Structure 1
Amino acid sequence: MTVRTTDTEVTFRQPFMLSAFDARQAAGTYRLVIEEEEILGLSFLAYRRTATMLHTPAISVQSGRHQVVEVDPEELTVALDADALTCRSLKE
């Protein structure tokens, strides 16, 4: 079975909270790693997400402590959308 990993970054302009964390996380840019596995037996190439992992603290924070936390991808999307809306309304 083929596994692919996508390494990207997400930016929160405001502090945020996800259920995977005990406390609010600071605004900043975070490393996001998505793992997917190939779905076998199809006549076309397709993948299923198996893990969404957020690295903390934010990339710009110098800290001796580093965590990788598995997060709910839908909850992350909702939090990013809410952050974008909050930032847009602050500009208006």
Structure 2
Amino acid sequence: MTSRTIETVVHFASAFSFAGIAGQQPAGAYRVDRDEELIESVSRVAWLRTKTFFHLPAIDTPGPKQQMVPINPADLEAALERDRQS
């Protein structure tokens, strides 16, 4: 089975939290990885999201320790929407 990882960066203007992330996180840019698997059919090609990972800490935060946390994409979208509205 063919798979791919899509790397994106999300930006939070304010401190935030959401399910799957321990504690309050500072504002900043964060990397998000989305793993997908290819679904082939006779008439078209589609990708199925299988996992989403959130990288901690923020991209410009100094420190040797990096962490990849599995998250629910809907929780991330809700947190980004709250950030946009604040």
* TM range, smaller chain: over 0.9
Residue in 1 that maps onto 2:58 = 58
Alignment of 1:1-92 (within 5 A): 1-86=1-86
Deviation at 1:22, TM superposition (A): 2.0
TM-score of the pair, normalised by structure 2:
0.93
Q: 1:35 to 1:42 in 2, by over 3 A?
A: farther
| Number of positions where the alignment pairs a residue of Structure 1 with one of Structure 2 | 86
1:41-82 C-alpha deviation (Å, 9 max, x unpaired): 452000110111111100010012110001110110011011
Q: What residue identity is the alignment partner of 2:53?
A: M
Residue in 2 that maps onto 1:89 = none
TM-score of the pair, normalised by structure 1:
0.87
Judging by fraction of residues, say which structure has more strand.
Answer: 2
Instruction: Extract structure 1 runs of 4+ deviating beyond 4 A.
Output: none
Q: What residue identity is the alignment partner of 2:84?
A: A
Deviation at 1:18, TM superposition (A): 1.4
Structure 1 unaligned blocks of 5 or more: 87-92
Structure 2 unaligned blocks of 5 or more: none
Provide the C-alpha distance between the structure 2 equivalents of 1:48 and 1:62, rounded to a whole number of angstroms: 34
Query: SS of the counterpart of 1:31?
Result: strand
Deviation at 1:25, TM superposition (A): 0.8
